[in-house]
Structure formats: C-alpha cells, structure tokens
Structure 1
Amino acid sequence: MSRDVETAPFQAVAAEAGKPRPGHGPRLTARRRETLAGWLFISPWILGFLIFTAGAMVMAAGLAFSDFNLATGEARWVGARNFAQLVDDPRVATSLGNTLFFAVLSVPLEIAVALGLAMLLARVGRGAGIFRTLFFLPKMTPMVATAAIFFLLLNGSQGAINQGLRLIGVQGPQWLVDPDWIKPSIVLMSLWAVSGTMVIFLAALKNVPRELYEVASIDGAGGWRRFYNITMPMISPALFFNTIVLTIAAFQTFDQAYLLFYRDQSNAAPEASLFYAVYLFQQAFRQFNLGFAAAMAWVLFVIIMIITAVQVRVGNRFVHYSGRD
C-alpha cells in the first residue's frame, strides 16, 4: 500500500479539524489576543483622556467664544471678543513675558543639574540604590511643604541661603522682594524636584556601551572629549525628550509662584511673580471670567504647540537613534 493511501485518513481528519465548527467563529490568534489585552489595559487612560482632557478642551473652546455666567450657567455668544481682550489686557503680556523668561532660564539649568547628578550616580558602585532613593525623595515632597521650606530659605534677612552667602563675604539679594530676583528664586525652587529628569538621564547613561569609552581612552581622548563625542550623542534621545517635557511644564508653571506669592490674598504680589497660569487661575476662579480664561488657555495651548513643533524640527537634526540608518 502506498504512503499516500496510508496517510489519507489522517489528512482528512486534520483538514476537518481545521475548519470552524458550526456556530463557532475562528479563534483569536496570539497577536490579536495581545492587541485586545493592550487595549483593555489602556482603556482606563483612554476614558480619562476623553472625559477629562479632550472633553474639557472642547468645552473650553466653546467658552472661549462666549460670555459664561457661572451663577446661572448661561453662556452668551460673543465671538472673538475674549481674544481681542487678550491683546488689550497688559497683564496678559506681562504674565506671558514672565513665563517665557522663566522657561528660558529654568529649562537649561534643570537639564544641566539633572545630567550632572545622573553622571555622579552612574559612577557610584556600592550603595547606588540608597543614593538614588535619597536623590529622588525631594520629588515626593508635597509642593506646599516645599514652598514653606523655600519661603524660609529665601528670606532676605534671616534666610539660610543669604546667611551662607554672608559667610563667604557675599551680600545676598532680597529674593522674594526684588523684582530682578523673584523669577530666579522660583527657578531655584523648581530645581528641588529635578530628580524626575535625573532618573531618565541615569537610565540613558546606563545604556551607553562601555566599549565606546574604552576605545576612546585607548585613542587618547580625554574626559570632556568622551563626554562630547560619546555621551552626548548616545543620550541625545533622552536629552531631546526632557527638553520638550520641561519646556511644556515651564509654560504651565503655577504651584511655585502661587504658593510663594499668592496664597495670602491680603498682600499685593509683585508683577514679576505673575505667571500666565496664575493669571489664568485668577480670571477663572477669582474674577469668574471663564470665557476670558478659556481664551487664555487656548492661546497657551497654541503657543506650546508651536514651540514644541520648532523643537521637534530642530532637535531631530541632532538626535542620534542607534536603530536608525
């Protein structure tokens, strides 16, 4: 008997088993099961985004073209009047200028401090986990507690920072009074939570191949040369990501300025401390001018989108991706 005749019954059975049974559809493949599981896992975030972010943005877009009465809940269409008022209000320009100055000053400084701390931690051998925990603890400190601490540290007469400067013969400024030093004082406060950026840099530094440094050392490259030609290109994706994230966060700065200067409504805060998000908050929840505040929010969104697009366009020329040709 030939081999084909012997195996024919088994082939028929296998073919019959492969056919879908009546009333039953085809079974999900492993790839489809993974895809379905992934969508199920991220579905809480998707729902939260649609309800609390996308929904809020759509509602704010409607409020931006209306005069909304919070007491009655009625909205009256006013067209582009709220946006015209943005141009006429000098405090909008002041707050936007303060925010831009803060972003230009804080983002490079936070990048430099975070990268420096990450490079120090990358060299630690024993006890590296302990040091990473200690450096990350300030990130877990509530912002209210951080503001209270820096309110004492930055006191012009009795603050610890100025007392330390006096020990080396330097007269410290009036951090929270002098308009020229108010934004730098908020920058110092923002550095307290730089550990989040530091962790990203630390992970990027750990992924740099050690062989590159060994080869460069054999060729006689010094420390700065290795940093510029090896470290910077290899961690450029993390540097690019942190720059964009910190820039977006800087334009939305609210907590530091509000807790230092605006929590006590009985005292007039200096103009140098008026940030864009703070003025938006005042218009929405102090003056109840929700239409004007919504217009401010959408203008800020457009500004951030433009700046981010420019950063992406410019940054892609300098970012090195190891998997890209």
Structure 2
Amino acid sequence: MTETLAVTGRAAQAARPEGHRRSTPATRRRALVALAFCSPMLLGLAIFFVYPLIASVYYSFTSYNLVSPPVFIGLRNYIYLFTQDPLVGTAAFNTLWFVVFLVPIRILTAMGVAGLLARARTASGFWRTVFYLPSLVPPVAAVVAFVFLFNPGVGPVNQILARFGIQGPLWFNDPAWSKPSLVILGVWVMGDIMIIFLAALLDVPTEQYEAASLDGANGLQKLRYVTFPNMVPVLLFALITGIIAALQYFTEASVASTVASGKASVGEGAGATMGYPDNSLLTYTQWLYVRGFNNFQLGYASALAVVLFLVAGLFLVILLRRVNAFNPEGAR
C-alpha cells in the first residue's frame, strides 16, 4: 500500500504543469544571474524610454514652460492641437509626404541596386563600396553639400542642365521642389538599406532558382515566387524602420531650410527659418521643437510627442498585422 501511494505521488508530481513546480535554490540563482546580466539593458530602457514616455504623457496634460512648476490643465493641449494650432496640419502633411514618397523610393532604389550588385561578376567589391560610402557621410554635411550642388544660381546641377538647354528649377528655394530635393538626397544615402538587401539576396538558396527554371519560370516569375518570399522579412524591417525614421524626420529638413534661407547655423533663431520655403519643409518634429524649446511650451510639445508616438505605433501594428512575415506557417 505504501509503495502504491509513493508511485501515485511521483506520477502526480510528474504530471503537474511546469508552471506549478516548486522553484529550487539553483533555479532562483540562475534567474538572478540572468537578471544581473540583463540589468544594464533594463536600467537603460527604464531611464531612457519608460521614464521619458511616462513623463511626456504626464506633461501633455499640463502647462509647463521649463521654469515654473507644471500646472494640470486636462485635455486643453490636445484640444488646441486638433482644433486651433495653425501649422500642425501643414507639418503633419509634410511628414506624411515623406512617409509616402521618400520611404518607398529609397527601398525600391536600394532593392534595384542590390539586385544589380548581386549579379555583378567583375569589380563587385568596388561598386558595393561606391554605393555604400554615401551612407557614412554625416547628415548635416550631406545636406549642406546638396544645397550647394542644387543652388539655382551657381550650383553644378543647374549649370549642367543649362548645357543641355534645360532651365533648372530653384530646388531647395522652391516650395514645389524642396521635398523632392530631399528625396534625391535620401536616395543618394540609401547604402545602409542596400547592403542589407544585398545580404538577403545573396542568402536566397540557389536550389530554388534552379527548381523554378526547371518548371519553366521566367525572370519575373522567379522574382515574384522565389526572391520576394525570401525577402519579405527584410523588406518588412526596412519598411518599419523607414517609416519610423520618416515620422521623426528632422535634421535634413531643418538644415536644408536653414542653409537655403541664408542662415549660417542652426541654433538661436532657428524657428524663424524652419520650414523654408513657405513651410514646405516644416516637419512634425520641427514644429514640436519650435513649440517646446523656442516658445517654451513643453506641455504642448509633450502632447505633440504623444500623438506622434501613437501614430508610429499604429503604423507598426498595421504593418505587422498585414504582413505575416515571421511565421513560416503563414507563408504562401
């Protein structure tokens, strides 16, 4: 009888779910060791992400000028943002313009260049370096150089166009051409995405291409049924990071406005030049900076930041729900 009860007890303990098993000192030590190794990352995440996020949400419901203590005002910042702010609509439109045009054009160009480099048989290393090097140029230096190159009066680009009898536009001084000019800059520095696409293309199994050839598939069909399915996770990564970067687009647009308007530096008085010409380059983050640090309206700037965070999260959720890239069972 005793042996039967012991066997039954061991069987019940073995059948007990993993979550209900009693933790041992060794298990607790391993958990503490793992937590100790993760503590720098967790501490940095708490200090530089969680706390600023919570503080921004709190300040968005207050009137705060960086000098006096914040005063709770409820939803007044959000009401003003959606109903009375004179330039938030323009800033949001310009930012969405960069999301809609800059991100896809950069991805398509990087994909095309990566495809050509993957097929290159001679001097491939040289051409990879040539296309990747522009991405190492600091953004401020790249913008200053492009503003000079596209200067409507003395810039080399318009001078070359004039030799062919083409009247060059005003580029960064024309509201209709200022954003396309920054798109050209974004294409020039697409080497960071290109190198990722190139690695993904070189990682596609050659056996799949050979099987597709035996089935009589042409080049377009190989691209659609072999290359693209293998590239979906990388494309999704590039799309998500590109959209987040476009929503936070600040440096290039700010420096382009400042230099094209004739200002020597970005700093004191920068709010007067941001968006030049005619607010065509005024992005959402620039308007947030102006309201928060030029006008000392940190509470309202926090409301702008919270809305931007929610929009970025919405884009992320939509993309992850639409593209089931990381689930092999969902692949077609």
TM over 0.5: yes
1:291 pairs with 292, 299, 319, which one? 299
Q: The residue matched to 2:70 in structure 1 has which SS?
A: strand
Cross-structure match for 1:254: 250
Residues 232 and 107 (structure 1 numbering): CA distance in 2 closer, same or farther, change over 3 Å? same
Q: Which residue of 2 aligns with 1:85?
A: 80
Q: Residue 175 of structure 1 corresponds to which residue in structure 2? A: 171
1:238 Cα offset (Å):
0.8
CA contact (8 A) 1:234 1:320 kept: no
Q: State the 1:232 CA deviation.
A: 1.0
**2-side partners of 1:150 and 1:46: how far apart?**
40
Displacement of 1:156 in angstroms is: 1.7
Supply the RMSD in Å over aligned alpha carbons. 2.5
How far does residue 224 in structure 1 lie from its aligned partner after superposition?
A: 2.2
Relative distance call for 1:249 and 1:218 in structure 2 (3 A) is same
Which structure 1 segments of 5+ residues have no match? Answer: 1-24
**Partner AA of 1:288 in structure 2:** F
The SS at the match of 1:180 is coil
Change (3 A) 1:116 1:98: same
Partner of 1:275: 283
Where in structure 2 are the equivalents of 1:1-325 lying within 5 Å?
42-72=38-68, 74-87=69-82, 88-125=84-121, 127-262=123-258, 264=263, 265=269, 268=273, 269=276, 270-316=278-324, 319=325, 322=328
Counterpart secondary structure, 1:220:
coil
**Residues 190-244 of structure 1: CA deviation (Å, up to 9, x unaligned):** 2232112112212211221111212223333322221122111111111112111
Pair 232,156 (structure 1): closer, same or farther in 2 beyond 3 Å: same
Q: 1:50 to 1:173 in 2, by over 3 A?
A: same
Amino acid at match of 1:306: L
| Paired letter, 1:90 | P
C-alpha separation in 1, matches of 2:166 and 2:217: 39
Measured in 2, the distance between the counterparts of 1:158 and 1:40 equals 60
Distance in 2 between the 1:203 and 1:46 partners? 31
Give the Cα–Cα distance (whole angstroms) in 1 for the partners of residues 112 and 219 of structure 2: 14
**Secondary structure in 2 matching 1:179:** coil
1:171 and 1:229 mapped to 2: Cα distance?
44
Listed one character per residue, the Cα deviations across residues 113-133 of structure 1 (whole Å, up to 9, x for unaligned) are 111121122223465444433
Instruction: Report how many residues are paired.
Output: 295
Larger radius of gyration: 1
Letter paired with 2:237: F
Deviation at 1:91, TM superposition (A): 0.2
C-alpha distance 90-321 of structure 1, shift in aligned 2 (>3 A):
same
TM-score, with structure 1 as normaliser: 0.82
Cα distance, 1:323 vs structure 2: 6.8
1:42–1:154 Cα change, 3 Å: farther
Partner of 2:15: none
